[in-house]
Every structure is written in C-alpha cells, then in structure tokens.
Amino acid sequence: MKTDIILCGVGGQGILSIATVIGEAATKAGLQLKQAEVHGMSQRGGDVQSHLRLSTDTIWSDLIPSGGADLIISMEPMEALRYLPWLSPSGRIVTASAPLVNIPDYPDIDAIKGELEGLGCATLVDIDALAREAGAPRSSNMALLGAAASRLGIIDPQALLDAIKTVFSSKGEAIVESNIKAFELGCKHHV
C-alpha cells in the first residue's frame, strides 16, 4: 500500500509543519517515508512544495512522477492548480478556498475556484474560518490537514492527532490544544 502526496502553498503558511506531522505519524506507524522539499524563493511569500511518499514497501525515489500523486493538499488555491500535472487520474485535491494574494497580477479568484470545482476531484475548504473557530487563526494548516485526513488512507486520523501532540509539544499546551481543535474541525469537514 502506498500514498503519494504533494503539499503546496506559499512560504509562511505552514506547509512544512503539515509535512512534519504526516512524517511523524508515518514513522510511528512503521511506514517507509521519502520526502523532498522545494522552497521556491526560500522566503516568506515564495512557492513552497513538498513531495511525501508513504508506503508499506520500499520507496526508491523521493520525487513523485508526473501523473502519480494520489493527493494534493494545498494551502492556496492557485498553487493547487500549479501542481495538476502531478495528480493521478484517480487523485484528489484538498485546498484552501481563500487566496494568499502575494503577486500584483493575481488571477481572478472566482475563475480559479471555478477551474478547481470543474475538475470534479477538488474540495475547497474555508480553513481560515475553521482556524478562527478553533480560536487560533495560525492553525489553518492543521484545519486543512484535518479536512484531508480521510483521504490519506495509509495513515489513520488518530495517528495524525497523536503526531500533532508530539510535533507541537515544545510550544506549550495552549498551542497543542489549538492545533488539535483546528485539526478536529477540519476532520468534521472531511472530504
């Protein structure tokens, strides 16, 4: 069994935290894991992506081939479209519905949403609203992970929840609890 995931978004949105949580859960589950990160402009606001390959068998490459991703998890809707060539024919997209307008000629958001919705495999989630409901606006990345958790297949949502506790434990109980709440709200919105 294997799952290939592309995580994408814009620098500063918490993509690498999502990758860390999934990686922690996969490691504790005894899965094989390969990860490749690309940090675009290597600064806040630049393109960020991470390839995560999880399997019960040996993984030979850390990069997902074109047309091979089972899931694209995107913190930004335009970034979800950027990685469509990597999505497998049976793959799914779970993306934030709100844009992070970080360029002067950002395309029309309604057109982007229309294109995503027209694919038939994309779910747009208002992760910012879920994070605010959790009382932690900075936990929108964990809300997105919760919304995508049922699509990971190879990792149980409870394992992700346990990984959140481990990954954020050094930041204090309040941060752990707010991230857990955001994740759980995302799970209720599952796709």
With pLDDT > 90 as the criterion, what percentage of the chain qualifies? 72
Distance CA 63, CA 51 (A): 6
Residue 118 has pLDDT above 60, yes or no: yes
Rounded CA Rg of the chain: 15
Distance CA 65, CA 54 (A): 14
Tell me what pLDDT residue 169 has.
Answer: 93
Tell me what pLDDT residue 39 has.
Answer: 56
Tell me what pLDDT residue 137 has.
Answer: 87
Tell me what pLDDT residue 144 has.
Answer: 96
Instruction: Decide: helix, strand or coil at residue 29.
Output: coil
Tell me what pLDDT residue 42 has.
Answer: 46
Confidence category of residue 13, pLDDT binned at 50, 70, 90? confident
Instruction: Give the contacts of 151 (CB within 8 A, at least 6 positions apart).
Output: 70, 71, 92, 94, 191
pLDDT in tens, 134-147: 888 889 999 999 99
Residue 161 has pLDDT above 90, yes or no: yes
Confidence category of residue 44, pLDDT binned at 50, 70, 90? low
Domains of the chain: 2-188 (3.40.920.10)
Tell me what pLDDT residue 65 has.
Answer: 93
Distances (CA, A) of 189 to 22, 126, 148: 19, 10, 9
pLDDT in tens, 70-107: 999 999 999 999 999 999 999 999 999 988 877 788 88
pTM for this entry: 0.92
CB count within 10 Å of CB 174 equals 11
